[in-house]
Structure 1
């Protein structure tokens, strides 16, 4: 698809390449719908433990509708619905909610839940688990919180993989955060397997289809783009990874922007082709707003790249559909 975006100014020519796929994934879409449906069905306020997804615009819109975002469960009253974020929570959180007889809705992405189940399976088989991920990320906190303390060791870097010392003689297994860089993770896994040749692979790749597709799309985008703009919030792991992947794939420059207002126009000095994509938690309207801002300043030719067409959907909790 090639469209010319009208521009009444006499700006210089700029080719804008738009990545496919981009923006919302099925897990993010489901999590947001859970909060929206809960507000419709039960009225405001609906409490949400942590940001439902890592995007400032999404959080602010839901807050305006009546969602109350809190850090911990003890900030929620017993008599209002509470939603757990898409990143997943430690087992202790729903247990605490049940003990208080709270009504809660779990918006954990099903692909994150798959990693939880996999970790539990390895633990039941007597394996010590290596979790490849970023310390402090809610998904990592949630995954480590599925099992007793000490059952999982966190591996963040290749250096961690080189120096990891097994706590005992138990066999090992690994799982990963779903939003990591494919290339970084592959290097960590290679390093671990050089040291522990019997380390089994997951039955199915832990890094989710949406992360994979967006990283492959941004690699294609980076080829021939002078600048790549990734729409997403700074606390969004998958969005930050897209910037890193674009730079490694050959983009001269790549930047993360929360929205069009965060563009520094000096980035465009000497730029003839800009690639545009978005992390899995960024709404499409932010991407269109960025393209409109480019069209007001430049004579833009818009080209949408070919890429994977995503048809995955996840069911909502039965309490919201009954």
Structure 2
């Protein structure tokens, strides 16, 4: 069996930074540290950090007064920030810098008097955080049908921002619908779209041309991992989302000559190795990596954690 690995795949710079923040906070402050929501959407990452002493909570009511508390990479609302202050928590923000950039853009649009529209998935923690960071009413649209239902005059000054785990391709038709609907519309440059989301989707489109089956490694609650699987399916390739090698169904690859593997932005490379090991248990495997864009982005850590050396993985 031939196996082709997507390039790029797996961890993005925002995920690397968020995990390192938890690691360094454990070194500097000792266990336990509390993390609001999963730091990233991957059970293996969460379980490893839990073993080291991180406690994951959904509500700040679960955190003792004064405790070290980390906000996940997805970001939080102003209300959550205020609640942390009320509880006198030592808050450390692991929000991805690209998500913070969206918050800032949304606030600038709102301050200039525009109605802000957020393109994203209802219920996603990043969307909830972004809507709670921009003052005034923020309207969520998930598709072109939502744009058609908007009860705003065509000359309304409107601005849009997007969830970072959506690519240029994901948002293109919705943005086109907004442009057709509103005469006074502004939005961020396409270069402001999350590079990692776009790169991983572009790689999967290319990979899908070469393989009989696509395996996407990631969590079922990971927006970007689900989208990678959808792209494979849209390309006409049987595509499956799995967390690790234990979820591999041998029937999926039994007749495949070439299997493609990619990983969502919150999936560790160790899980890619785990899936490869599962494939090797079925027979001989020849592994290659496709040519693709190399990523060199690094995001700065919070100043208070720069001197704390992370626990080795």
Q: TM-score, normalised by structure 2?
A: 0.94
Give the 5 Å matches for 1:16-165.
16-149=3-136, 151-165=137-151
Whole-Å separation in 1 of the counterparts to 2:155 and 2:79? 28
What residue number does 2:235 align with? 249
- Superposition CA RMSD, Å: 1.5
Are the aligned partners of 1:231 and 1:259 in contact in 2 as well (CA < 8 Å)?
yes
Deviating 4+ runs (over 6 angstroms): none
Distance 1:282 1:24 in 2: 6
Contact 2:168 2:190 in 1 (8 A): no
How big is the shift at 1:182? 3.5
The answer on whether the counterparts of 1:181 and 1:241 sit within 8 Å (CA) in structure 2 is: no
- Matched residue, 2:207: 221
- Deviation (angstroms), 1:38: 0.5
For residues 206-285 of structure 1, what are the structure 2 equivalents within 5 Å?
Answer: 206-251=192-237, 253-285=238-270
1:315 to 293, 297, 300: 300
User: CA offsets, 1:24-48, max 9 Å, x none?
Assistant: 0000000000001001111100000
Aligned partners of 2:103, 2:190: CA distance in 1, in Å?
13
Structure of greater relative contact order (alpha carbons < 8 Å, 6+ residues apart): 1
Unaligned runs of 5+ in 2: 308-313
> Which consecutive unaligned segments of at least 5 residues does structure 1 have?
1-13
Residues 1:176 and 2:162 are matched in the alignment: yes
